[in-house]
Amino acid sequence: MLESLQSIQQLKYGNKSVLKKENWLNYLYMTEQKNINLEQVQSLSDIREHPVLQYTERTLQILDRLDISLEHKQILEDVLKWSEVAKCGSQDIRMEWEKQGYPLAIHNIASAHIYADEQIKMDFSDRDLFKEEVIYTLILTHGLVGQYIRGEVRFQQMLPLSKFVHLKMFSPSAFNELLYALNQCIIEAVSPDLWEQIEEQVTEVVQSVSYGEQVNEYPFKERLERLRYGSIHKGENFQLEIQQLLSDPGIEKRLSLFFHNTDMWYVESALSEFTLEEFFKIFLLLIRSSSSLTVRQITFEPLMKELHYDYKGKKSVNLYKKRIIEAYLADLSMENLLHHALPDNQHVCLQVLAYDSAQQLVGVSFQFSKAGEKLIEFCQEAEKHPLYERAIIMLYDFFGFRKDAYDRLQNEQTYLADMNNSQDFKRKIVDYAVGDTMLDIGPGGGFLLDLLSKRHPKANIIGIDIASNVVAELEKKKQREQRKWHVIQGDALDLQSYVGTKKVDTIIFSSILHEMFSYIPFEGEKFNTKVVEQALHSSFQALNPNGRIIIRDGIMTDPKETLRHLRFKNITDVAFFERYVQDFKGRNIQYEWINERTVSLPINDCMEFLYTFTWGEEAYPHEVQEQFGYFTPSEFKEAISQTLGETAVITVFEHYLQDGYEEHLLMKVEVTDVDGKSIGLPDSTCFIVIEKKG
Q: Identity (one letter) of the amino acid at 188?
A: E
pLDDT tens-place string over residues 422-465: 556 678 899 999 999 999 999 988 999 999 999 999 999 999 99
pLDDT tens-place string over residues 492-546: 999 999 999 999 999 999 999 999 999 899 898 999 999 999 999 999 999 999 9
- 439 by DSSP, 3-state: which? strand
Classify residue 191 by burial, with Cβ atoms within 10 Å: 0-12, 13-18, 19+: exposed
State the pLDDT at residue 404.
53
Residues 6+ away with beta carbon under 8 Å from 690: 540, 548, 549, 550, 551, 640, 644, 648, 649, 650, 651
State the pLDDT at residue 380.
81
Edge to edge, the sheet with strand 543-554 lists: 486-489, 460-465, 437-441, 504-510, 543-554, 685-692, 648-656
The answer, yes or no, to whether the previous bond of 172 is cis (omega within 30 of 0) is no
> How far apart (Å, rounded) are the C-alpha atoms in residues 288 and 280?
12
User: What DSSP string runs through 298-316?
Assistant: EE-HHHHHHHEEEETTEEE
At residue 676, φ and ψ (nearest 5 deg) are 85, 10
> How far apart (Å, rounded) are the C-alpha atoms in residues 142 and 203?
16
Q: Cβ distance 498 to 489 under 8 Å?
A: no
Q: Cβ distance 150 to 229 under 8 Å?
A: yes
State the pLDDT at residue 81.
96
> How far apart (Å, rounded) are the C-alpha atoms in residues 79 and 295?
28
Q: Cβ distance 144 to 337 under 8 Å?
A: no
Classify residue 206 by burial, with Cβ atoms within 10 Å: 0-12, 13-18, 19+: buried
At residue 316, φ and ψ (nearest 5 deg) are -140, 145
Element (H, E) at 89: none
> How far apart (Å, rounded) are the C-alpha atoms in residues 413 and 473?
10
CA 283 from centroid of its chain's CA atoms: 20
> How far apart (Å, rounded) are the C-alpha atoms in residues 317 and 380?
12
In 3D space, the residue among 441, 379, 375, 374 whose CA is nearest the CA of residue 409 turns out to be: 379
> How far apart (Å, rounded) are the C-alpha atoms in residues 187 and 598?
62
Residues 6+ away with beta carbon under 8 Å from 77: 2, 3, 4, 60, 63
> How far apart (Å, rounded) are the C-alpha atoms in residues 564 and 607?
9
> How far apart (Å, rounded) are the C-alpha atoms in residues 107 and 115?
12
CA 9 from centroid of its chain's CA atoms: 38
State the pLDDT at residue 381.
82
- 500 by DSSP, 3-state: which? coil
- Opening angle at CA 43, ends 37 and 44, nearest 5: 65
User: What DSSP string runs through 587-654?
Assistant: SPPP-EESSSSEEEEEHHHHHHHHHHHHH-TTTHHHHTT--S----HHHHHHHHHHHH-TTEEEEEEE
pLDDT tens-place string over residues 649-673: 999 999 999 888 888 898 999 999 9
pLDDT tens-place string over residues 581-609: 999 999 999 999 999 999 999 999 999 99
Question: 342-346 long-range CB contacts below 8 Å, 24 or more apart?
Answer: 342/288
> How far apart (Å, rounded) are the C-alpha atoms in residues 274 and 297?
21
Using left for φ > 0, alpha for ψ between -120 and 50, and beta otherwise, residue 44 falls in: alpha
- 12 by DSSP, 3-state: which? helix
Helix then strand count (H, E) for the chain reads: 35, 17
Q: Which regions in the chain score pLDDT beneath 50?
A: 43-44, 47, 405-406, 410, 415-421
- 15 by DSSP, 3-state: which? coil
State the pLDDT at residue 121.
82
> How far apart (Å, rounded) are the C-alpha atoms in residues 63 and 77?
8
In 3D space, the residue among 564, 512, 555 whose CA is nearest the CA of residue 657 turns out to be: 555
H helices of 220-344, in order, are 220-227, 229-233, 238-245, 249-261, 267-271, 276-289, 301-307, 319-330, 334-339
How far is CA 305 from each of CA 16, 269, 318, 409, rounded to the nearest angstrom? 31, 9, 10, 19
- Sequence length of the chain is 694
Supply the pTM of this predicted model: 0.80
